[in-house]
Every structure is written in C-alpha cells, then in structure tokens.
C-alpha cells in the first residue's frame, strides 16, 4: 500500500516542481535530459580514435602549424580541411584491421609479408619517435619556463620524462586510457586562444575553402611537413593496437575471441575515429588561423618552435592567448609522448613476438616496457646532448617519410583482403582513396628526403 502511494505521488510531485520553476521563469534554463544523455553516450563512444587524433597535435606539430600561419598567412589554411578525410580514412582502416583481426598492425604485417620489411619499418619508426619524444620534452620544458622562468630546463625535462614513464608503466590500462581521453580536451585551449585573438572570420573561412599554392621550395616543403605530421606512421600502429587493448579490456583475451566484428562495434569505431581526426584537424585550423591573423598580419614571419609562437602572440593577442598556447604545449606533450613511445613498443614487440600490451603488468612484459623505457631515455638524452631540436624533427620527418608510404601500402593491401577482413573488407572507393593517399605521402616523403641534400 505504501509503495503504491509513493509510486502514485512521484509523478505529480515532479510535475508540480516543474510547474513552479516554469512559473518563476527558470524552467526554460534547465538542461534537456535527452540532450545530456546523448552527450554522455557520445562521450562513452570515444576512445582510441580520440586519443590518436589528439596526440597528432603534439608540440612539433603545433610548431609546424604555427610556422605555416606566420609565414604564409591564411594561404595554406585549406590544408586543415583537405587533410581531414585523408587522415580519417587511413585511421579507420587501421582501426578496422585491429577490431576485425584482433591483432595489432605489426602482427598483421608479420603474418602476411616479409619480416625484413617489417623489421626495417619498426627500426625507423623507433628512431623517428625517439627524436620526436626528445623534441616534445624540450618544448614542454620551455613552455613551463614561459610561465615560471626560474625553473631550470634540465630539471623540467627529467621531471616530465619521469612522470610519463611512471604513468605508462604502473597505471592500469583502463585508468590510463581514461587519463589520455580526458587529456585530449586540452586541445580546446588552442580553439579558445584563436577566438580570443579576434580574427577576421570572414577572411578565415574564405581561405579555408579556397586552395592556393605558390610553387616555391619553402612552401612545398612546409606542405610536405604538414602532411607528414598529420599522417604519421606512429598513429597507424597506436590506433590498431589500442583497438585490440579495448577488446582485451572487455574480456576477449584470446585472438579467436577477438576476431570478427559486429555492426554496432564498427559504427562506434567510425564515430570515434572521425571525431578524433576532426578534433585534430580543427586544432590545426585554429592554430594556423591564429598565427596568420596575429603574427603574419604584424610582420612576424619566422617561427621555428611552438614556444616561439606563444611568445610572439603575447604582445598582440594578450596574456590569455599566450597562457592558453603555453598550457596547450604542456598538455599535448603529455598526451603525445606515451603515444610515440607506445607505438614504437607495439611495433617492435609484435614484430619479434614479444609479450605486449599495456593491459599487462611490467613483470609480464619486460621487453614491451623496455622499449618504452629506452625510447624515453633516448628522447631525454637528445636534450642533454644539445642536439638542435629543429634538426631532430627534420631527421624524424625523413624517417617518417620513408616509413609512411611503405606501411600505407601494407595497410591498404591488408584492409582490402577479404580473406583477412571478411565482410569488413574495404569498399572499392576506400581502397581507391587509400592508394591516392599513399601516392600523396610518397611524394611528400620523397620531397622531405630530397630536402636534406639541397
């Protein structure tokens, strides 16, 4: 009887409360429960795709985008729109390979192609990622010095290395994946900083949809650098392996249990991947726009690091933009470094059949975590050997320029093979796009290599 009474009075009580709020003019400001639920469902769908896309906007990438805006104004802004579908198609192929086969990318390559090709790619990937880690650690330390000038550079580099290593080795994968996912939101700082810069948005949007190229050596090399930093080999390996990690987290611990995929799984993956790549390219868009609208417009045309961009923006765009740019460098570095080190470890461990995976504890996968440790120490060492960070990034770009086209060929072949992919084999137009992207990256990689000798 009492339970029936409560049930009967619950709805009227809520209705009375809503009526009172409406009468007082507050009801219209209440959040829509359905909208909140949809937002929560969308957030839960996001995972490997979001963190992969966000990690692409690391400090070295930010430096490239800043240089683009400062040197050429809004002219190359259209590249942020152009690279979005290219990046998303490649990462979706990688994610689909991971979900359907239940194996990482290197493992799939090892079973289908020459091991020598895989070993060479994995070695070059390790070298490129180590240089990138070193450059990112240096950028993060310099960004902290912008906010706290008295803190020593060497102390900061060691501190960031130690924090990143401890998190990668001793944090359980389920918790670590959530940490990376939330850290991706730091990229919003760049969107806000561009809005605060009070740009001419009519001019911005015009150049976003109007392709323009001046065929000089510097601009072509910068375009190659943008392509290289948005479609990078470490993203391929990380994306595929993280999809496998997510399956293991769900309890599918054997390859047989992980093989195959359902329509809801593929749909969720696509939403995740395209959302992550959209965020990545949106951030590129806003960084180029901010530096074009502020630095280029005020005659500041030479930017070589993300930290220089933050310093140059301050006198014209104010302290808020300066602060957000600096904080963004630190946050994106903390996100990108584990992805760089982790992708090297997945590639090498799967190549040599070592026990791998962040779901394993350190004592269960010494070699896997050993690669991460070595990657971090090489990156740290670069900062103490006083290697020019710009040269380090150039070497990294050359290594990626060699690896990316080769791995892209293998990705397109694997994802187009019905024996491997079953019903989730590439559609013909996806395969076509895959080959077009591979051709573009061959040209970009070749140009990056040639630039060393010119």
**Residues 6 or more apart whose Cβ sits within 8 Å of residue 436:** none
> Could you tell me the two tokens for 16?
């009375």
The 8-class DSSP code of residue 362 comes to G
Q: What string of pLDDT tens digits covers the 454 residues of the chain?
A: 444 444 444 455 555 555 544 555 555 555 677 888 888 888 888 989 999 999 988 888 888 888 889 889 999 999 999 999 999 999 999 999 999 999 999 999 998 888 888 998 899 899 889 988 998 898 889 889 888 888 898 999 999 999 999 999 998 888 888 888 888 888 888 888 888 888 888 889 999 888 888 877 778 878 888 888 889 999 999 999 999 999 998 888 888 888 889 999 999 999 999 999 999 999 999 999 999 988 888 888 787 777 778 888 877 777 888 888 888 888 888 999 999 999 999 999 999 999 999 889 999 999 999 999 999 999 999 888 877 666 676 677 777 778 889 899 999 999 999 999 999 999 999 999 999 999 998 888 787 677 666 6
Q: Strand, helix or coil at 96?
A: helix
Q: C-alpha dihedral over 251, 255, 260, 261, to 10 degrees?
A: 30
Return the CATH fold of 47-451: Amino acid/polyamine transporter I (1.20.1740)
Tokens matching residue 151: 């803190």
Question: Which residues, including other chains, have CB under 8 Å from residue 67's CB and lie 6 or more apart?
Answer: 222, 291, 303, 304, 309
Diameter of the chain measured on Cα atoms: 89
Per DSSP, helices labelled H in 250-365 are 255-258, 263-294, 306-317, 319-351
Residue 377 vs residues 174, 210, 380: alpha-carbon distances, Å = 25, 44, 5
Lookup: tokens for 113? 């192609």
> From the CA atom positions of the chain, what is the Rg in Å?
23
Determine the pLDDT at residue 433.
95
Report the distance separating Cα 345 and Cα 369, nearest Å: 7
Q: Say how far apart CA 317 and CA 312 lie, in whole Å.
A: 9
pLDDT at 426: 95
Structure tokens at 199: 């740009």
Take residue 163 and report the two structure tokens written for it: 């924090």
DSSP symbols for 159-218: HHHHHHHHHHHHS-HHHHHHHHHHHGGGGHHHHHHHHHT---HHHHHHHHSS------HH
Residues 6+ apart with CB under 8 A from 385: none
Q: How many CB atoms lie within 10 A of CB 145?
A: 16
Structure tokens at 147: 């906010």
Q: What is the pLDDT of residue 326?
A: 84
Single pTM value for the model: 0.87
Q: In this structure, what DSSP letter does residue 32 have?
A: P
- Return the exposure string of 421-443: e unless at least 16 CB atoms fall within 10 Å of the residue's CB, then b: beebbbeeebbebbeebbebbbe
Distance CA 164, CA 162 (A): 5
Cα(133)–Cα(137) distance, integer angstroms: 6
User: Nearest 5 degrees, angle CA 279-CA 284-CA 289?
Assistant: 125
- Cβ-proximal residues to 96 (8 Å cutoff; 6+ apart), any chain: 261, 266, 269, 415, 421, 424
pLDDT at 346: 94
Using CA atoms, how far residue 288 sits from 130, 207, 321, 326, 428, in Å, is 26, 11, 14, 16, 34
- Pairwise CA distance, residues 45 & 42, whole Å: 5
Q: Provide the token pair at 234.
A: 């470490």
Q: How far apart are CA 268 and CA 273, in angstroms?
A: 9
CA dihedral 6, 9, 15, 21 (to 10 degrees): -70
> CB–CB of 63/305 below 8 Å?
yes
Distances (CA, A) of 68 to 54, 122, 317: 19, 30, 18
| pLDDT for 60 | 83
What's the burial of 84, exposed, middle or buried (CB within 10 Å: 0-12/13-18/19+)?
Answer: buried
Looking at residue 235, its pLDDT comes to: 93
């Amino acid at each position: 009887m009492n339970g029936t009474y409560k049930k009967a009075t619950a709805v009227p009580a809520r209705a009375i409360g809503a009526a009172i709020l409406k009468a007082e003019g507050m009801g219209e400001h209440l959040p829509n429960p359905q909208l909140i639920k949809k937002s929560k469902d969308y957030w839960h769908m996001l995972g490997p795709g979001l963190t992969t896309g966000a990690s692409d906007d690391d400090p070295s990438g930010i430096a490239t985008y800043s240089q683009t805006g400062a040197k050429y104004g809004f002219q190359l802004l259209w590249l942020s729109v152009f690279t979005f579908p290219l990046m998303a198609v490649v990462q979706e192929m990688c994610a689909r390979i991971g979900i359907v086969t239940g194996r990482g990318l290197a493992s799939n390559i090892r079973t289908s192609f020459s091991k020598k090709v895989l070993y060479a790619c994995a070695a070059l990937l390790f070298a490129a990622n180590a240089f990138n880690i070193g450059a990112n650690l240096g950028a993060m330390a310099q960004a902290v010095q912008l906010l706290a000038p008295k803190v020593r550079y060497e102390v900061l580099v060691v501190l960031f290395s130690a924090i990143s290593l401890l998190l990668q080795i001793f944090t359980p994968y389920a918790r670590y994946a959530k940490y990376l996912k939330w850290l991706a939101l730091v990229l919003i700082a760049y969107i806000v900083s561009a809005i605060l810069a009070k740009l001419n948005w009519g001019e911005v949007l015009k150049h976003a949809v109007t392709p323009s190229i001046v065929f000089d050596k510097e601009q072509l090399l910068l375009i190659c650098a943008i392509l290289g930093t948005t479609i990078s080999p470490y993203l391929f390996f990380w994306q595929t392996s993280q999809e496998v990690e997510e399956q293991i987290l769900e309890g599918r611990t054997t390859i047989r249990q992980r093989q195959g995929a359902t329509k809801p799984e593929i749909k969720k993956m696509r939403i995740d991947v395209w959302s992550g790549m959209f965020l990545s390219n949106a951030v590129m868009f806003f960084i180029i726009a901010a530096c074009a609208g502020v630095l280029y417009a005020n005659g500041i045309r030479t930017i070589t690091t993300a930290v220089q961009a933050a310093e140059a923006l301050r006198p014209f765009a104010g302290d808020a933009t300066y602060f957000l740019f600096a904080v963004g460098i630190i946050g994106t570095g903390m996100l990108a470094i584990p992805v760089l080190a982790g992708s090297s470890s997945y590639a090498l461990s799967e190549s040599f059949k070592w026990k791998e995976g962040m779901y394993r504890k350190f004592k269960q996968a010494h070699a896997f975590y050993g690669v991460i440790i070595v990657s971090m120490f090489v990156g740290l060492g670069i900062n103490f050997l006083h290697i020019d960070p710009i040269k380090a990034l150039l070497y990294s770009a050359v290594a990626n320029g060699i690896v990316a086209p080769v791995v892209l060929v293998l990705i397109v072949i694997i994802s187009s093979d019905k024996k491997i992919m079953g019903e989730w084999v590439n559609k013909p137009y996806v395969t076509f796009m895959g080959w077009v992207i591979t051709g573009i990256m061959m040209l970009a990689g070749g140009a990056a290599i040639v630039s060393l000798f010119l």
